[in-house]
Structure 1
Amino acid sequence: MNGTTQQTIVQALRTRILAGELAPGERLVEAQLAERLGISRTPLRYALSVLATEGLVERSGARGYTVRRFSVTDVLNAIDVRGVLEGLAARTVAERGVDAALARALEDCLREGDAIFAAGVLDSEAETRYAAMNGRFHALIVEAAHNLAVSAALGLNDKIPFVSPGTVVFDKTAQQRQFMMLSYAHRQHHAIVGALVNGEGARVEALMKEHTHISKESLNLSVDRLHLSAVAAAGAAAGAA
């Protein structure tokens, strides 16, 4: 099974969790879930391991996982934290200078994003490609900062579901609006790269903070259907720990 198909399964599981089809606190047994989804256990096991690193599920027994409980407020706050940390990383990169290898890698991301949005619609394959490209774009900037404290803090922050830039919430009920928001986010990618290359530290820091608002708006499209937000305060605190 290729990587694209595996990522499609990951995205499908995210969507089911977001919609409440896989409920908070529900135990996911590999054999039962594989039969329910009509897929083999090997790609499912991979998908669950990815969702565990994202904080959407957690280990429960030898061959199972449990859907984590968390609140929308937890997610929105963590997205704000990501903006601050990534802004610091981007400023560091801009002030230090962008080398040729980083410039090429960022330009590759821009070209891929341009191609994705040129189609005028995001199908399932395009959604997977966009999420992967977005995660790669942000990771390039953070890694180029060579700041272990920032990288460690982001790694911890990304344990809160839907916060990592490689995890994009796609809402099938608002596809056109989401297409417009994400295409705008990609135009921001172009502005960020321009500021980095031009050494505009303060500007790129502000752009990175502003950029996270798209993540929040995309999530807010689904808040009314985000069943995982309906948790007690104690449960939310435990889920964010």
Structure 2
Amino acid sequence: MQVARAQQGLRELILAGELPPGKRVSEPAMVERLGVSRTPVRLALERLAQEGLVAPGASGGFVVRAFTAADLADAIEVRGTLEGLAARLAAERRPTAAALAPLRDCVAALDRVVAQPVLSEADFDEYVRLNAFFHEELVRLAGSGVVARAVEQAAAQPFAGPSAFVQLHATEAAGRDTLVVAQEQHRLLLEAISRGEGARAEALAAEHARVAQRRLRAALSDRDKLTGLPGGSLLRLAAAWP
């Protein structure tokens, strides 16, 4: 329990920019700040190193990593590929109507959110919650702990999660349109899985992640927007992304 608490606390400090890129993470300071003992902090840092948020320092310990635009794009691509695998496995296992019911209910609830002509901040928050559930349920239906762990690790990268850019949509005039497109892909994914169409489900899930790729490209044109999001302080955008 203490390790999970330390891991979450450290991740929040890093994504909030309180531990900037290149900074060595002081274990004694984190012990005091997080209210846990030193061993859980060390184990939490090792887990974050596996996630890619920190890296071993030259003189020992761990330092916070910086990310390029290409890093973010690759992380989204990996997540999409893994979710495609999950979608194919789910379809090939032909889940029962009862097993698919939570996913169907989620899609129906998302339909109600995006059907509104104008979305409020609360609507975007609700979309984030339901979207997270959709992606979790998609992976659950695959029935593979190996795939689930791989997806979780890929999605832990800054801006790689399925709802990473929804906060940006909320500030844009065309924000609702982007969510409508994503929701149509949710609906098609559900249809493919329910029909046992593995190859189609895999392709749809991979294409679904490409929406996030396109939003990343658009967001990179306004660095202020990105740096205002959790994890934005970790970006190093000097190198152009093709």
Taking structure 1 as the reference length, the TM-score comes to 0.66
Q: CA deviation at 1:121?
A: 2.6
Alignment-derived partner of residue 157 in structure 2: 160
1:94 to 77, 91, 96: 91
**2:98 maps to amino acid:** A
Bigger proportion of residues as helix: 1
Structure 1 gap segments, 5+ residues each: 1-12, 28-51, 59-65, 234-241
Which residue type is aligned with residue 235 of structure 2?
Answer: S
Q: How many residues align?
A: 188
Amino acid at match of 1:164: G
Change (3 A) 1:132 1:78: same
* 1:54-133 correspondence to structure 2 within 5 Å: 69-133=66-130
Question: CA-atom RMSD, angstroms?
Answer: 3.4
Write the letter of the residue equivalent to 1:159. A
Q: CA shift at 1:113, angstroms?
A: 0.9
Structure 2 matches for 1:1-241, cutoff 5 A?
Answer: 24-25=20-21, 69-171=66-168, 175-224=172-221, 225=223, 226-227=226-227, 228-230=234-236
Separation in 1, partners of 2:22, 2:114: 36
Deviations, residues 43-85 of structure 1 (Å, cap 9, x unaligned)? xxxxxxxxx9xx7988xxxxxxx98632221111011111111
Residue 144 of structure 1: how far off its partner (Å)? 1.5
- Largest Rg, 1 or 2: 2
Report the TM-score when normalising by structure 2.
0.66
Say whether the 8 Å CA contact 1:97–1:197 is kept in structure 2: yes
How far off is 1:206 after superposition? 0.5
Q: Read off the aligned partner of 2:236 and give its amino acid letter.
A: A
The 1:144/1:70 distance shift into structure 2, 3 A limit, reads same
Unaligned runs of 5+ in 2: 1-11, 24-47, 55-62, 228-233
Q: Supply the distance in 2 between the matched residues of 1:172 and 1:181 (Cα, whole angstroms).
A: 7
Deviating more after overlay: 151-160 vs 162-171: 162-171
Q: Is the 8 A contact 1:89 1:142 kept in 2?
A: yes
Task: Tell me the distance in 1 between the aligned counterparts of 2:170 and 2:135.
Answer: 27
* Residues in 1 aligned to 2:169 and 2:22: alpha-carbon distance in whole angstroms: 23
